[in-house]
Amino acid sequence: MSSIKEMLIYGLGIFVLKGLGFVMMPIVTRMLTQVDYGELNFLVSIASMMSLFLTLGLGDILFRFANGQVKADNDAVMRQCFRLSLLCAMTFICLALPLSGLIMSWLPVSLRLFDLQLLLISLSLSSLLTVPYCYFRMTHRALPFMFFSVVQGCLQTLLSIALLVSGYGVTGMMLSSAISSSAIAVAVLVYFRSHLQGARATFSLEHYRYIAFIVCSGIFVYCLNGAENWLVVIHLGKQQLAIFFAAGQFGLMISVAFEPFRMWWYARRFKVHETDPEQGARYAVLGVQIGMLLAGGMLFMAPLLMDIMLPESYRESISLIPWMCLIMALRFHSELLNIGCFLKKNARWASIINGVCALHLLIIGYWAVGAFGLTGLLNTMGLTVLIRGILFYVISQRLVYLPYCKSHLIISWLIFIVLLIVNITKVTGYRFIEFTILAVNTLLLLYLYRDLWRDLKFTAWRRHIPN
């Protein structure tokens, strides 16, 4: 399957799976109080944290060690990854449900016990999808991935609306997640069962070290991308968390829009690096530039989307959008310009960098949100992702040098900074200026990578044109 076709299919699947969550925002924010919406989003933060332990970084293991030329060996690695996934999910659900009351006592805010238990069930079942979904990506089978994503997204959305209308509130949202996760987990495993039959690879100490470093790195990444919700709820309460989370959803929209490229590239970046490092470096820079273009597009679109999606009580969120877009633009650098940190030393440096930056955010952020509120937290988040991007770039280049085109990155940053200044200052005709800058940025990317677009165009679609 051609690259562009694969990315389009992934895009459709991700839009339905995650994009429907944004479509639900106007309904959820109007049918739940701000306190309930803050509680729902705190449950989402708990889910993000616990999923790190459940998935064990097995997707990264699959992409890293199952990229050889022999299909039987790759499949054996996949089966061992799934075995570990199943073992972890069963252990988690057997321990977490009986101890859910104890877990509740550790949380900084009150939640309903049944809501937490539904969340735990949903998490354990969703974790079983990690290895099959990554295998689909690795073997270029985008259609099954899209199909199951679409079904899960539609099922969860319909159930959520029905339960909200019936007055079940936050519990209804958790119930819809548990039901849809259960149904899709069963369906995927039935579809995938033939691939699970056969020999399993024997993991060495190197594999388990890699898992340990990936899990540690993931925990630290959660501190960078999710722990801020805990800081807000501890200092400012559920209502301010609702305001902060609503703004964060627009940053998440940028990430979802970027997901087709991310899913396509992450499944093959190690293989491309081995065969053509220069091409790998070029794709990485292209990814950063696309991400920055999407962040700039959100600066332009956010005011319009907020008018449609959020009630008047959430208008405070709009002042946080420029910060969210800047943070996302910086985050793409550390996500994509880092391959050396994952190729060498069993990904040890990824854990170290993420750990240092997580400590910085937690310590400085705890003080800043208490002293300066959301503004202090956003300043700390921006500084942290800047430090993280610099560390990943410098150390990765020392471990594995790649010829990144710095001039392309500088051009994208100049354009983004001008766009950010225009958006903040609200100069006369700023909407037209923003649109013009975005159009110029898009045309410039098309020109800079014209050989790639031409190649994609002819290789992807020529065979579909009748002679």
pLDDT in tens, 100-129: 888 888 877 778 889 888 888 888 888 888
pLDDT at residue 3, as a whole number: 60
Q: What are the pLDDT digits (tens) for 396-430?
A: 999 989 899 999 999 999 999 999 999 988 888 88
Q: Quote the CA–CA distance of 132 and 129 in Å, as a whole number.
A: 6
**Percent of the chain at pLDDT exceeding 90:** 22
pLDDT at residue 69, as a whole number: 59
Alpha helices (runs of H) in 267-347, residue ranges in sequence order: 269-275, 277-309, 321-336, 339-343
Q: Quote the CA–CA distance of 255 and 292 in Å, as a whole number.
A: 11
pLDDT at residue 457, as a whole number: 45
pLDDT at residue 49, as a whole number: 75
User: In the chain, which residues have pLDDT < 50?
Assistant: 457-467
pLDDT at residue 462, as a whole number: 42
Neighbours of 399 (CB within 10 A): 16
Residue 388 · residue 224 · CB < 8 Å: yes
Average pLDDT taken over every residue of the chain: 83
3-state SS of 91-117 is HHHHHHCCCHHHHHHHCCCCCCHHHHH
User: Residue 462 carries which side chain, given as an amino acid letter?
Assistant: R
Q: Quote the CA–CA distance of 305 and 25 in Å, as a whole number.
A: 11
Total-model pTM: 0.73
Alpha helices (runs of H) in 97-204, residue ranges in sequence order: 100-106, 113-127, 130-138, 142-165, 169-192
CB under 8 Å to 345, separation ≥6 — which residues? 399
pLDDT at residue 266, as a whole number: 80
Q: Which residues of 428-456 are buried (b: 16+ CB within 10 A; e: fewer)?
A: eebeeebeebbeebeebbeebbeebeeeb
Residue 299 · residue 322 · CB < 8 Å: yes
- Residue 316 has what DSSP assignment? G
